[in-house]
Chains A and B, each alone.
Chain A
Amino acid sequence: MAKNILILGGGTGGSIVANILARSLSPQEATITVITASPQHIYQPYQLYIPFGYQDPRKIARSERSLLHRRVALVVDPVEALDIKNQTVVCRSHKSYPYDYLVIATGSTVDEQQIPGFKEGADHFYTPEAAFVLYEKLQNFNGGTIVVGIGGLPYKCPVAPIEFTFMLEEFLTKKAIRQQSEIIYTFPLNDVFNIKTAADYIKADFDKRNIKTELFFNLSEIHPEKKIAESIEGTELSYDLLVMTPPHKGATFLRGHEIADADGWVQTDRHSLKVAQLENVWSLGDTTNLPISKAGSTAHFQAPVIAKQICAAIRKETVDPEKVKYNGHVACFIESGYGKATMLDFDYEHPPQPPPPTEFIHFQKLALNKFYWYLIPKALI
């Protein structure tokens, strides 16, 4: 009898796993179902460009159905409960779905409530709506202090706030208000980034462009009426515009679940991507508790490792864990402003060595943005 594969989340990671499985397994071997929260699939990297007017927020999403192989069934009904013992998932409609194999790819969401004053006082680009509000504010900005920072670790796309800062510096310069503006970048740790080799490069560029930094800044509260951002270290920063990456969490049904921590990050093996030592449950992408970048490229490199294990399990083949394993590979472009970009490419063993920014790398990023829909979710590369 065909086995039941459930994939929770129809974003980058879930779509790739579903499409690889649909091409690898016959209908007699498995039925494949993606259960997701929205009929739309958003290409989130485009949100970085919205605040500067480089991207139209209405043009960053496609129908998830159009990205899935015809053999993959799609259910749009947010998961509300996961019962590991009875191997079932219950959705908002109260319908329940049994599984033989489960893949959790429900990503991460922003949680603005965690910081008092965040909603009223801070802007960000981590949802298309918030990015558009920030676009309007930047259009009307005529100089002053802009504080850009991180409101909590971990957060998705760790380089996005750095890219934003570089692009902001260019934006203010081209608007001829850089002289009247100060940019301050805050980070919760003692450096501008949590990977040393990348931090050195970023800090040198910040210095060159007169971007100030405030380190060990763990946001505790925002006072919108006084326009002050306060950290638990006791530092207070005055701002005219505050662009803070909100704290992130896993999906609600995972928060405090037996397979996850209080914030919903799923206990995941760093090589096999199996969840909580279970033989039939895997997770990938933003939702894992792995100490690596929460990025689309991470999910992209993880997906085949999971698909191979599921195929082998269904066919009762053994896999060599040395051959089928995730090695921590992540590859992220960094927009540096002025039409140039650099790149971080690393894995568990090899830290990134970012090359000097070039126009060519910037065009590679633009090409990926354009071709994402045709190549990535469909698992063609």
Chain B
Amino acid sequence: MEGIKITKEVDARGSFCPGPLMEMIRLIRSAQVGDVVAVISADEGTKKDLPAWIKKAKHELIAEEPVEGGATRFICRKLH
């Protein structure tokens, strides 16, 4: 994503649900308000659960970027 600086990213490929979601929760817990963080995952369950969690937690899902090999980079801004 151009113009957006990712403060911290975790590559969670090879880890299955809830691993990638827990990585996102850990990143959000330790980030400052306004920080942008990202998790890369190829897990099917995560594709549904991670955006659902971001919505429930009222943060902003900036993008779901495809990454080579069928994985997705979930980019999220901490809003509160």
Which residues in A have some Cβ–Cβ distance to B below 8 Å? 153, 188-190, 194, 216, 218, 220, 232-234, 291
Give complex CA distance A189, B53 in Å.
8
CB distance from A193 to the nearest CB of B (A): 11
Chain B residue nearest to A231 in the complex (CB): B57
B56 within 8 Å of A by Cβ? yes
B:21-66 near A, CB below 8 Å:
21-22, 25, 28-29, 49, 52-53, 56-58
CB neighbours (8 Å) of B56 from chain A are 216, 233
Chain B residue nearest to A189 in the complex (CB): B18
Using A216-B56, A233-B53, A234-B80 as known contacts, list a sample of 5 further A-B pairs with CB atoms less than 8 Å apart, ordered by residue number in A: A153-B22, A188-B22, A194-B18, A233-B56, A291-B19
A to B CB contacts below 8 Å, 5 in the list = A188-B22, A190-B53, A194-B18, A216-B53, A216-B57
Chain A residue nearest to B21 in the complex (CB): A189
Known A-B contacts A188-B25, A189-B49, A218-B25; A233 and B57 likewise in contact (beta carbons under 8 Å): yes
By the criterion of a CB under 8 Å from any partner CB, how many residues of chain B are at the interface? 17
Chain B residue nearest to A196 in the complex (CB): B45
CB neighbours (8 Å) of A291 from chain B are 15-16, 19
Give complex CA distance A208, B33 in Å.
41
Give complex CA distance A226, B48 in Å.
35
Give complex CA distance A220, B56 in Å.
15
CB distance from B77 to the nearest CB of A (A): 15
Chain A residue nearest to B48 in the complex (CB): A190
CB neighbours (8 Å) of A220 from chain B are 29
Query: What 3 A-B pairs come out closest when comparing CB atoms?
Result: A233-B57, A216-B56, A233-B56
Chain A residue nearest to B16 in the complex (CB): A291
Give complex CA distance A190, B28 in Å.
17
CB neighbours (8 Å) of B57 from chain A are 216, 232-234
